[in-house]
Amino acid sequence: MLGSVYVDFDGTIAPSDPTDTVFERFCDPSWRTIEREWQEGRRTARDCMAQQVDLLRATPEPSPRCCAALRLTQPFRASSPCVAAGI
């Protein structure tokens, strides 16, 4: 299955942090400790993300529902043909 991946660093796509939403749903709670260590400057961004991604335990079935529930900003919805078409 092919798809698209969008990266939103500044809130132009989603008003809340989609990565945090996915981690809340599919990661062990220790992802928050790793996040805090990064925020405190004790981890690099790369190490933080690598360690958090290692904690992901998502299966294909619930993943689309989680992603579909994410709120998107209106400018992004209007500018993305796939989103506008409901794909």
What is the number of structural domains in the chain? 1
Compute the distance between CA of residue 57 and CA of residue 20 in angstroms, rounded to an integer.
14
Structural domain of 45: 18-84
Q: Tell me if 79 is assigned to some domain.
A: yes
Q: Tell me if 12 is assigned to some domain.
A: no
CA distance readout (Å), 61 to 41, 52, 65: 36, 21, 8
Span 19-41, pLDDT tens digits? 888 888 889 999 999 999 999 99
Q: Tell me if 51 is assigned to some domain.
A: yes
Q: Tell me if 80 is assigned to some domain.
A: yes
Considering the entire predicted model, what is its pTM?
A: 0.64
Span 45-63, pLDDT tens digits? 999 999 999 998 877 666 6
